[in-house]
Amino acid sequence: MSTEERLQQLKHPNPHMRERAMWELVDHPDESTIPRLMSILDDEDTTYRRAAVKTLGAIGHDTVPLLVESLLNSENVTVRGSCAKALAQVALNYPEDPFPAIGIEGLKTALQDPNPVVNIAAVMAMGVIGTPIVDILIEALQTTDNPALAMSIVNALSAIGDPRSLDAINTLLADESTDSYVREAATSALSRLEMTTKFKSDGH
């Protein structure tokens, strides 16, 4: 089967067929595989688009430079959001490998994207990368004036469960100018974090 035929299979209504096509693209790449998958990221067919995101994530680190380039430079919001989601998939698929620095820098820049589809997808991707980028998320939390983004960051930090997040969230709560929605998210994140970090420090 050619790359093009496998790409068409990513549209298949049967999820098993889509999954099979995905792994065949991962196992038998050619020089057109990544660019062709990238070209699907603005497709109107959501299933097709999601399958391309998953496949790029399954291919792994080789896709990161192109994903970052489109994440930061595409004029299409759907493409930028899909690139952030694909970077999250790379981190999910390859948790043992350090995430490429270019990917971390790209996601950090995407936190400034004016569109919530993109900046919140970037936070979620950083949440998947986890502990190595806690400091970047904390810095973003301290500098953003966007309440929706701040709430996403607070939730990502509480999911990562790193002790450094406790101080950052306590500081947020101590600041009287903190947005009420952010404060609410921070309060519940704090109780989750205290449970997680206590559990870790008890030697479990």
Regarding whether 82 and 58 lie in a shared domain, the answer is yes
Q: Tell me what the pLDDT averaged over the chain comes to.
A: 94
Determine if residue 98 is left, alpha or beta; phi over 0 gives left, psi from -120 to 50 gives alpha, anything else beta.
beta
Q: Residue 199 — pLDDT band, cuts 50, 70, 90?
A: low
Counting residues of the chain whose pLDDT is more than 90, the rounded percentage is 90
Is 169 within 8 Å of 204 (Cβ atoms)? Answer: no
Regarding whether 67 and 30 lie in a shared domain, the answer is yes
Regarding whether 119 and 156 lie in a shared domain, the answer is no
Regarding whether 101 and 26 lie in a shared domain, the answer is yes
Instruction: Encode pLDDT of 16-27 as tens digits.
Output: 999 999 999 999
Q: Residue 201 — pLDDT band, cuts 50, 70, 90?
A: low
132-151: buried (b, 16+ CB within 10 Å) or exposed (e) per residue?
A: ebbebbbebbeebebeebbb
Regarding whether 55 and 141 lie in a shared domain, the answer is no
- Would you say residue 203 has pLDDT above 60? no
Counting residues of the chain whose pLDDT is more than 70, the rounded percentage is 97
Measured CA to CA, the distance from residue 151 to residue 182 in angstroms comes to 5
Instruction: Encode pLDDT of 44-79 as tens digits.
Output: 999 999 999 999 999 999 999 999 999 999 999 999
Regarding whether 158 and 74 lie in a shared domain, the answer is no
pLDDT value, residue 105 = 97
Q: Residue 174 — pLDDT band, cuts 50, 70, 90?
A: very high
* Structural domain boundaries enclosing 97: 1-129
Regarding whether 164 and 120 lie in a shared domain, the answer is no
Regarding whether 156 and 97 lie in a shared domain, the answer is no
pLDDT value, residue 195 = 84
Last residue of a domain, one of 76, 109, 129: 129
List, as own/partner pairs, every contact residues 168-172 make where C-beta atoms lie below 8 angstroms and the sequence separation is at least 24, other chains included.
168/138, 168/141, 168/142, 169/193, 171/142, 172/141
| CATH, residue 68 | 1.25.10.10
Regarding whether 120 and 143 lie in a shared domain, the answer is no
Measured CA to CA, the distance from residue 161 to residue 139 in angstroms comes to 16
